[in-house]
Amino acid sequence: MKKYQILPVKANDENSKKPLFLKSVEDTYVIDGDDESGANALRDKNFCDSDILHFKADPKNGKLHRKVLLKFDVSSVCDEPIKKFSLRLFGVGSQDPNGCAVMNVYEVDENAWNERTVTFNTVPAKGELVATANVGRSFNYIDISNLVKRKIKAGQNIVSLMLSGDDNEPFHVKFASSKNEGADGPALIASYTESGFTTDIASNDSTETVWSYAAEMVKEWCADWEEILGKGDAPAEYVYEKDEEYNKTVDVTRTPKKPYTEMRTRTLDSIIGYTPVKDGDIKLDEYGGYICDKKFNATGWFHVEEKDGRLWTVTPKGNPFFRRAMVSLSPGGEGRQNTAVMNKCGTKEKWAELETDHLKNDLGFNALGGWSAIDALSKVKEPMALCHIVGFVSVYARENGMNNSKGGSTTFVGGVMPMFDPAFAEFADRRAKAIVTPYADNSFVYGWMSDNELHSELKLLDSYLMADIENPWFAYSYAVAWTFLRTVTGKENVDICDVTDEYRKLFRAMVYNRYFRVVASAVKKYAPNHMFMGSRFLPGCYRDEYVQRVAGKWCDVISLNYYGAWAPDSELMQNIQKWSGTPFIITEWYAKGMDVQKKDPRLTNESGAGFTVRTQKDRGYFYHNYTLKLMECKGCAGFDWFKMWDNDPDNLKTDLSNRNSNKGIYDNDYVEYTELTDAMRVVNKNCYKLIGFFDSDKTRSN
C-alpha cells in the first residue's frame, strides 16, 4: 500500500480554499389555510420557533398552503472572490406522490418581514423569480449566484427569499430549520470555484496525490459494481400469512408515554395443522444442528448452503442450523448483576458452564449474540455457536478522535465514515490478527461481525463532498467523493448541484463495498474457515437495494437490527434475499414489560428501541409472533434476542439507551422472567419441525 500524507491546503490559492457555509439568520414558514375548527386562525399564526419549515400545497384544491421565508447575511463575504452561491436545504420528509416537488425561489423585500412576527396575512409579495428546482428528502441545492452577486455589488448585505410552488401541483416537503438540532438547517454555500470544490490536496510524495489514490478507489468500485450487477436477482419467495392464525391481541406502544394499540398476535398453538414436538423428537448435534434426513456437506466449519429454496447455515457436522442466540450473554458488569452471579455460581467459569447448559438444553438457544463473554463461554465442553463484534471502523475512528457515538450506534464527526483511508486497511489487518487469530481453529465459531449500526444516511455523499479538508482526517474521503461524482456524471467541472438521490445511493453502496472489502478480507485472512456476518445494519441500509447487493458479495450471512415491526415485513425479507442472495439474521429485537415496575420502579422502559407491552406474558407472545414469521422466511437463518440482562439503573457507565428498561430474560438480581422464557422454550424447541412444516405448506409462499 502506498503511503500518503496530506499537506495543508494553500490558503492563498482560490482552488484550495474551502467553501464557506453561511447559516440563515432568520427562517420560518406561514400557512394559508383553516384550522380544525374551520376558522382562519392559522393565517394569523407565527411559526418562528418550529424546527421544521413546511413547504406545501393543498392536494384537495390546489390552493397554496405553506410558504417558507429565509434570510441570509452575506456581509462576511462581500470582499471575497466568490464564484458561486448555492442555497442548501435539508429535506427531512416528503409526502409528494412523485418523491419530489417543484419549488420556486423568489426574492422578497427584507424589510417587509421578520421571523418573529410574520404570518400569512402579513407575508411580503413575491419579487423576482430567482430559481426553480426539484426538491425532496436529503440535501437540496439551488444555484442563486446571480441574485447574491447582484446584492453584494449593490452594497446590500441581506438576501431575503421566499420558497413557493405551483398552485396546480400538490406537494409537501419538510425542511430542517435553523432551530433543528438534529439536522442541517438552511445555508448558503459560498464557493471560490465554479465547481465548488478544491483541487490542491497533495501528498508528500511528488509522484502520487490524494487524487490519484481517489481514482484507484473509484476504479475498484466500478469493477466490483459491474460484477455485482452481473449476478442479477436471486430466487426469493414471499411469505403469506394466514389471517385466521392471529388468535390473540396484545396492547403495544413504542414508549410508555404514548397510547397503547391492540396488535393482532400469533402464537405456536394457533398454527393451523401443526402438531408440537414431544421430548426426544428432535435430535441435535453438539453444535445445535438438527440431525435429520436433510444432509449437507460436513466441512468441519459453519457455512451456508441452499436446499429447496431455503438458505441454511450448516454445522461442521453437515446438519442444518437455525440460529437462536442471546445477546450480551455475560456474568454482568459491576454491581448487582455480577454480585448475584457470583453468589449463585461462585466463579465466572462455573457461571459459563451453568448458563450454557440452561440456555442450550433447557431453553433451546444455540448461539451467542454480540457483546457476549466469548472468552469464558468458549471454554465450556460444548459451547453454543460463538460470535463476536470485532469493532473495526468504530475503534479506528475512536482512536483518531472522530467517533462521536453517544449511544449503541456508531456515528462519525462530520458524518464521514473513513473507509477510504489507506491507514484504515492497515488498522483492520492488525485488529483482525489480534482478535480473530486466537479463535481461528475453533470449529464452534459461527462467525464474526465487524461493527454495530454504522450511521450512513442517504446524505452520506453530501457529507463527504462538504468535508473540511483542512482536517487531514477528511482528505481521502473528500477526494474520493468528488472523483466519484465526476465519474458518474461524466463531467469534469462537476458541481454539488449535480448530486441526485441515485448518486447518493450509488455512493453509499461504494462506501460499504470498500468497507466490506477491507474488513471481510481481514477476517478471512486470519480465520479463512469462519463466516463473515456484516455490520448489524440499520434500516436505511437493509432497505437499500444497492447496499444489500454489495453485502451479498462480501458477507456469508447478513446481520441487521430490526425494530419497529410487530412481525417482520414479508416484502422486506423477500427483497433482502432477492438483492443479496445471502441469508440474513435479525441481531437485535425485543419488547419491554411494564410489570417490572412492581419490583423496581426505576425501570420505566423509556429508553431503547423495542416495543413496550404490559406484562412478561405479553413479551412471550411477541417472541412467538416475531420468530414464527422469521421461520417461515426461506432467506432467514436465525435471530438474536436482545438481551440477557435488564438495564441496571445504578450503572451510569452505560449509554442512555441502556439505563432504565426491561430488555432481559433476567432481572438485575439474576432472577429469571419465567413467563417469558417458557414462551421462548416452546418456540425454540419446535424450531426445526416448524420450519419443515412451513416449507411443506405451499399456501405460505410463492
CB-based burial, 570-602: b 16+ in 10 Å, e otherwise: bebbbbbbbbbbbbbbbbbbbbbbbbbeeebee
Each residue of 580-595: pLDDT tens digit? 999 999 999 999 999 9
Contact 154, 59 (CB under 8 A): no
Q: Give the other-Cβ count within 10 Å of 489's Cβ.
A: 15
pTM for the whole structure: 0.93
Contact 303, 318 (CB under 8 A): no
Give CA–CA dist 702/696, Å, rounded: 12
Each residue of 152-178: pLDDT tens digit? 999 999 999 999 886 556 678 999 999
Domains 20-191 and 248-700 share a fold: no
Cell 407491552 locates to 613
Looking at per-residue pLDDT, the higher value among 210 and 620 belongs to: 620
Cell 429469571 locates to 672
Q: Domain locations in the chain?
A: 20-191, 248-700
Farthest-apart Cα atoms in the chain, separation: 89
Give CA–CA dist 583/309, Å, rounded: 11
Give CA–CA dist 195/489, Å, rounded: 13
State which fold the 248-700 domain adopts: TIM Barrel (3.20.20)
Closest of 57, 63, 66, 59 to residue 28, by C-alpha: 66
C-alpha cell at 284: 441435535
Backbone φ, ψ for residue 525 (5° rounding): -65, -40
Indicate the pLDDT class of residue 9, thresholds 50, 70 and 90.
Answer: very low
Residue 596 has pLDDT above 60, yes or no: yes
Q: Which of 3.30.70, 2.60.120, 2.40.50, 1.10.1740 is the CATH number of 20-191?
A: 2.60.120
Asked if the peptide bond before residue 63 counts as cis, ω within 30 degrees of 0, the response is no
Query: What pLDDT was estimated at residue 6?
Result: 42
Query: What pLDDT was estimated at residue 40?
Result: 60
Give CA–CA dist 446/457, Å, rounded: 29
Query: What pLDDT was estimated at residue 7?
Result: 42
Query: What pLDDT was estimated at residue 14?
Result: 64
CB-based burial, 73-94: b 16+ in 10 Å, e otherwise: ebeebeeeebebbbbbbbbbeb
User: Which uninterrupted H or E stretch holds 367?
Assistant: strand 367-368
Give CA–CA dist 633/285, Å, rounded: 24
Query: What pLDDT was estimated at residue 350?
Result: 97
Cell 411443506 locates to 696
Residue 524 has pLDDT above 90, yes or no: yes
Q: Give the other-Cβ count within 10 Å of 164's Cβ.
A: 21
Closest of 666, 621, 661 to residue 255, by C-alpha: 661
Residue 423 has pLDDT above 70, yes or no: yes
